[in-house]
Amino acid sequence: MSTCKVSAYKEWFSWFLLTMFFFGHYFFRITPANMNIQIMKTFSLSVSDIGILIQCFFLPYTLAQLPVGYCIARFSTKRLITLACFMCAFATLLFSQASSFMILCGCTILYACFAAFGFVGAVSYANANLPKQYQSLAVGLTQSLGMVGGFLGVNLIAYFIQFYSWQHITLIMGLVLGLLAVLIAFLVPQTPAPIQQSKKNPETTEPADQERSIFLQSKTWFNALYAGFIYLPVMVFTESFGKNILLATQQHSEKAISFGLSLVFVGWIIGGPTCGIIADRYGRVLVMKISAVSGLIFTALFLFVPMSLLALNISLFLFGLTNTGIVGCYSISAEMHGPAKASVSIAVANMTTILVGALLVPLLPRLLEMQAHPVFVHNIPVYSALDYQQSFGLVLFAPIIAYLCAVFTKETKKF
């Protein structure tokens, strides 16, 4: 076997270990939502307290994206991810031994700040070390492995919580993250900082981009806003109010709707690398546009067209399969400003992906409450399909805006 092939295998293996950190961070990320009853019993918490605990992850995780991008641009990815993985392990172990709600919140904030290194670190490493023709594939695989982590986390926690306490489960999470940090420290080769690497290779820099901040360039924000708006329908249907919406508009059982929504993740797992392959071969902007059109079609179907259970499940799977245009968006983020600023550009897109949903999703239920007249069953408001269509129908604008952003995004693949 040639030295070149051995080196390529080592780079892919190193990327895989770094991606495992992004994969593993999902297990703790979904803990408050999936262990809420047990945690509420332990500390006598309310539902709003669990909402605060969930926000203790997402707000710091979002705000940390830009500092993370700057750190990865200036320091070794291997060292940063090793430190971040160790700190996440430490935060998880403290969480498992927490004696108060305040400690739970503090541990979650600490975890979120270091978990933010996962995706940006793995994609930045892929952009700097993997072959150019496979970089979109690597982005798609990275995002898909994160979805696998969320899918497995939900199901494994639901199973093990029947037999073990939440403290024991989170303790095991912390130990596994610690082991992963050791593997990264010893098996991933030392990686130079992108800025230092660019100084040694002046031909890889882009002088025009070095003169202006990436935050002042419209191409940065068209691409980043695409990420936020293309992912917004997924956040609505899989992470917030999808079950309630589909129960009202599709009239199937709660168990059937829950299973159908899990198929969105299955579609994403398959679609992520598939989209990466297509983007590497035919261009990033093409898959971004196709994804936006598909998102508009499927969102309209879920909201306004009653379907059989089989048709609904197929549609939810295809929705996840085609929502993966964000892979092309992240690839453009890594390429549009040159190697030295790739990590910061990726961080901007990743931050916007979460921020758009965090700002807009809470407005939709408020709009629902303002204009609807629910029927109360056991003091719980039940809304009709028309109520959801009138308020959540605004989500249809998200893929339209995403498509317009894709139109104004410049293709980075060289044919």
Looking at residue 376, the DSSP 8-state letter turns out to be E
| Burial class, 4, CB count within 10 angstroms (exposed 0-12 / middle 13-18 / buried 19+) | exposed
Phi then psi dihedrals of residue 375, to 5 deg: -100, 130
Q: How far is CA 23 from the centre of its chain?
A: 10
Cross-strand pairs, 376: 381
What's residue 208's pLDDT?
A: 43
Distances (CA, A) of 174 to 28, 96, 107: 9, 9, 12
CA–chain centroid gap for 170, Å, is 21
What's the one-letter identity of residue 379? N
* Residues with pLDDT less than 50, the chain: 202-211
Give the domain 1-204 fold.
Growth Hormone; Chain: A; (1.20.1250)
Homologous superfamily in CATH for domain 217-415: MFS general substrate transporter like domains (1.20.1250.20)
Question: DSSP labels for 28-77?
Answer: HHTHHHHSHHHHHHHHT--HHHHHHHHHHHHHHHHHTHHHHHHHHHHS-H
Measured N-to-C along each axis, helices 36-43 and 166-187 cross at an angle, to the nearest 10 degrees, of: 120
Query: Taking a C-beta distance cutoff of 8 angstroms, is the pair 395, 234 a contact?
Result: no
Nearest CA among 401, 397, 392 for reference residue 367:
392
SS3 252: coil
Residue 274 token pair: 């598939």
Question: Contact, 30 vs 81, CB < 8 A?
Answer: no
Q: Which two tokens stand for residue 409?
A: 């995004």
Average pLDDT, the chain: 84
Given a contact cutoff of 8 angstroms between Cβ atoms, the answer to whether 61 and 115 are in contact is yes
Taking the C-alpha atoms of residue 259 and residue 264, their distance in angstroms, rounded to an integer, is 9
Nearest of 89, 91, 110, 98 to residue 167 by alpha carbon: 98
Between CA 51 and CA 56 the distance in angstroms is: 9
Q: Are 225 and 405 in contact (CB under 8 A)?
A: yes
Cβ pair 331, 139 in contact under 8 A: yes
3-state secondary structure at position 192: coil
Domain ranges of the chain: 1-204, 217-415
Q: What is the pLDDT of residue 47?
A: 60
Which H/E stretch holds residue 328? helix 326-335
Burial of 200 from C-beta contacts in 10 A (0-12 / 13-18 / 19+): exposed
DSSP state of 377: E
- Look-up: residue for tokens 């971040």? 84
pTM score: 0.74
So what's the pLDDT on residue 404? Answer: 96
